[in-house]
Structures are given as structure tokens and as C-alpha cells.
Chains A and B, each alone.
Chain A
Amino acid sequence: MNMATLVGVLIVVLLPLLPWVFISGSYHKRPGAKRRAGELLRAVLTAEQYVQLIRQGYIDIPSPSDPERVYRVPRSPGQVQVREKGQLTQWLCLQPFEWVPDADLVVIHKLMIEADEETYLQKANSITPIAVSLFNGPV
């Protein structure tokens, strides 16, 4: 295979992948993005929430509308747990339309839950555990 053929094959194979690279956002995953996201997270969380996130890997955000409900938001991407009276009742899945750093995901959940819980619940997909006792431990 000569050089011209090799270049041609590479163009044919790689060109269709180019839009996907841009759409998925991977092109923008710069190191500075994670640093800035970490700074925003520190600025937005309360001291107690920040300590909980570091120590336990999640933050518990009390529901503004229901004193018995807490949203458990993980540090890394994943589903948010809805806990009522300490028991897991459902999972929620909500994500931005475009990729953002992990720390920004935590900020998004916190702001929406605290300031716009109704919209948050409307937009999130919810999953109710089939066997709740498996996740909550023995009754």
C-alpha cells in the first residue's frame, strides 16, 4: 500500500468520526476545565457540604418542600438517590445536554434542588427500586 492510498483510507475512516468528537464534547475536555469546576464547587457548597463530599463521596441536600426527604448527590457521575426518613425510595437521573466536568454536575444538582426543586423533579427520570429492602438493609 503506497502513501497516497494509506492517507486516503485514513481520511475515509476518520472523517466520519470528526463530528462525533466535537458533539460529544471530548474535544473540550481541557485540564483547566476541571480546575475551574473545582473552584466553583468550593464556592457554591457550604462548608458542611464540602466536608461531607470529601469524606463520604456525596452530599445530602434537604428537600425545600419536604422535611423528610433528602437528595443524595454523588461526587462522581451517577444517579441521585431520593431518601425519605433515611430510606432509599427512588433514583433520579438528570444530566446537562453537553459534557461538563464532574464537579459541575454536583453544582448543577445542588442549585436546581435548592432553588427549583419542582422543575428538577419534572426533568429528571426516576427509577423506583423493585426490592427496596435490598438497598435499605434488613427491616
Chain B
Amino acid sequence: MGMLRIISNRGDERRLWNEQDALAGDVEALAALREAERIFARERARGATAFRVEPGKPVERLEQFDAQVSQIVMVPRVVGG
């Protein structure tokens, strides 16, 4: 299972997908995966930054959506205060 978490003024929005089921041709799983990809692209276009956050691994910046990552956190555009 993968989870996309988008930080916003509503807390974080979450989208889940199951890559294995999507690869097996499950229509709903495929739709969930496509939706996560779409939201990822939309938020990147808005200036958000994506990070791969997985237990026991260093945090890494993600430039492209990766369905194999178990958790992606998207941070909204930031400015100097």
C-alpha cells in the first residue's frame, strides 16, 4: 500500500493506492493510483515539494511520483518569513 499525504490548511489530505492490485488489473486500484498521480502532479504544479518518508530510511526529495514508495508527503510552497 502507498499513501500520499498533502499538507494543507485542512491538515493533511490522504490518498491511498495498492500498486500490486493495480498491476493485477483491479479497476478500482488502478483508478486510485491514477488519482494519486494526478494529485501529485497538480500539487507540484502549484509549487509543492514532495518527499519520500519511509520508516528507517532517510527522507528524500521526490521529483516524480513513485508508486512503490510507501509514503509520500507533499509540502506546500514556502517563503521566507
Chain A residues engaging chain B, CB cutoff 8 angstroms: 25, 28-30, 32-37, 39-40, 43-44, 79, 93-101, 104, 107-108, 110-112, 114-116, 119, 123-125
Enumerate chain B residues within 8 angstroms of A79, measured Cβ to Cβ: 81
Name the residue in B51, B73, B78, B79 with the highest tally of chain A Cβ atoms < 10 Å from its Cβ: B78
B9 touches A99 (CB 8 A): yes
* B interface majority secondary structure: strand
Q: How many A-B residue pairs have CB under 8 A?
A: 95
B77 touches A33 (CB 8 A): no
B9 touches A29 (CB 8 A): yes
B10 touches A28 (CB 8 A): yes
Enumerate chain A residues within 8 angstroms of B61, measured Cβ to Cβ: 115-116
A43 touches B71 (CB 8 A): yes
A40 touches B73 (CB 8 A): yes
Nearest B-chain residue to A98, judged by Cβ? B9
B75 touches A123 (CB 8 A): no
Enumerate chain B residues within 8 angstroms of A94, measured Cβ to Cβ: 78-81
Using known A-B contacts A96-B75, A97-B78, A123-B78, determine if residue A112 contacts B49 with beta carbons closer than 8 Å: yes
Given contacts A40-B5, A43-B71, A94-B78, 17 further A-B contacts (CB under 8 A): A30-B10, A33-B9, A33-B11, A35-B11, A36-B12, A37-B12, A43-B53, A94-B81, A95-B79, A96-B77, A97-B47, A99-B9, A104-B7, A104-B11, A108-B7, A115-B51, A124-B81
A108 touches B78 (CB 8 A): yes
Chain B residues engaging chain A, CB cutoff 8 angstroms: 5, 7-12, 47, 49, 51, 53, 58-61, 71, 73, 75-81
Nearest A-chain residue to B53, judged by Cβ? A44
Nearest A-chain residue to B51, judged by Cβ? A111
Using known A-B contacts A114-B58, A115-B61, determine if residue A97 contacts B77 with beta carbons closer than 8 Å: yes
A100 touches B7 (CB 8 A): yes
Q: Can you name 25 A-B pairs with beta carbons within 8 Å?
A: A30-B11, A36-B10, A36-B12, A37-B11, A44-B73, A94-B81, A95-B79, A96-B75, A97-B47, A97-B77, A97-B78, A98-B76, A100-B7, A100-B76, A101-B11, A104-B7, A107-B73, A108-B75, A111-B49, A111-B59, A112-B78, A114-B59, A115-B51, A115-B59, A123-B79
